[in-house]
Amino acid sequence: MAGVASNLSFFLRKLGLECKVIAKGTNPFGYGDDHYPLWKTLLPLMYFLTYDVIHYHSNTWLRRRRLKHLDYYLAKQFRRKTIFHFHGSDLRVGHMNQELHKIIDHLKIVLVSTPDLLDFFPSEKGVWLPNPINVEMWYRKPRVRITEKLVVGYYNPPWHAYSERIYCAERIKSAIGNLKRKGVNVEGKPVYGKLHMEMPSYYSSIDVFVDKLGVGWYSLSCCEAMASGLPVITYVREDLRRFLKGIEPFLISSKENLEENLEKVLSDEGLRKQLIQRGKKYVLDIHDGLKVAKSLVKIYQQA
């Protein structure tokens, strides 16, 4: 889940809590290292029986028909606090939502990583927990410029339909191409499949980051880019902008007016500097991992 569990565990341990992340399967982006360890085990029932809080990300451990959700029911039997935390497709894909419906009905609190996911729950149950960022990890090396060409970064996953619906990569490429034809000194630098530890270097090689435009809320990558000192363009749904509390740390753009907004950012150095300052402050205020972990401890106490 984009390293959210590992980041939360890292900062909970900084607060003095004992915390383990139990990973089911592998991830292709290299999450989990000496600072963010992942424990892998076939049957982690000992943890479900000995820890005070069981924090599930997206689903229970046991999902086969005969033993489905047995770990959850054991945790409840032993009066462990249980938290479910959802991140996107785990709710947007209908069958997953239906599968967990009975469990969700009995939970006092359900965490979501983006406010648009609150639509799936009654208002008194859903809680937005901002994705935690280790701001010390993100830096921006000084660019050694050969030309004055500005580089625009964006995600371009290999599967076309998903890429277009969520990331709008073709629309971004089209906007960059049109600006080139208009004489703007710009080039695109798509990324996908890099290890997480390689991303700081990628952010250091671009001047502007265009986040996914097809969801309605900014991504974890957007936070990393802002923490790295980049101006960011992204899309936030009109009804969700209240969660920004009057602050726009990025330039909000739809895919329809992306070309116009991208040209505005590329042509105005003053605007880029403003976005950089606002973005860094926003990440420190809202997504700093230690602040998020402290909020999470309070949620554990209420669950």
d(CA 215, CA 30): 25
Mean pLDDT of the chain: 87
Residue 87: how many CA atoms within 13 Å on its side-chain side?
Answer: 13
| Residues 88-112: tens digit of each pLDDT | 877 776 656 667 778 888 888 999 9
d(CA 165, CA 152): 20
| Residues 180-222: tens digit of each pLDDT | 999 999 999 999 888 888 999 999 999 999 999 998 999 999 9
Mean pLDDT of 73-97: 81
State which amino acid sits at residue 299.
I
- State the alpha helices, DSSP H only, in the chain: 4-14, 45-50, 70-77, 89-92, 94-99, 101-105, 160-162, 169-181, 199-203, 220-227, 258-267, 269-282, 289-302
Kindly report the pTM of this predicted structure: 0.90
Instruction: Please give the residue that has the higher pLDDT: either 93 or 241.
Output: 241
Does 38 score more than 80 pLDDT? no
Burial of 85 (0-12, 13-18, 19+ CB in 10 A): buried
Mean pLDDT of 62-78: 83
| Residues 272-287: tens digit of each pLDDT | 999 999 999 999 999 9
Provide the pLDDT for residue 299: 96
Provide the pLDDT for residue 284: 96
Provide the pLDDT for residue 25: 65
Does 42 score more than 60 pLDDT? no
The answer to whether 250 touches 218, Cβ cutoff 8 Å, is yes
Confidence class of residue 33 from pLDDT cuts 50, 70 and 90? low
Does 35 score more than 60 pLDDT? no
State which amino acid sits at residue 130.
P
Confidence class of residue 30 from pLDDT cuts 50, 70 and 90? low
Confidence class of residue 245 from pLDDT cuts 50, 70 and 90? confident
Provide the pLDDT for residue 73: 86
Provide the pLDDT for residue 105: 85
| Residues 151-175: tens digit of each pLDDT | 999 998 877 666 677 889 999 999 9
Provide the pLDDT for residue 97: 61
Provide the pLDDT for residue 242: 95
Domains of the chain: 4-132+288-302 (3.40.50.2000), 136-287 (3.40.50.2000)
Provide the pLDDT for residue 219: 94
Provide the pLDDT for residue 14: 95
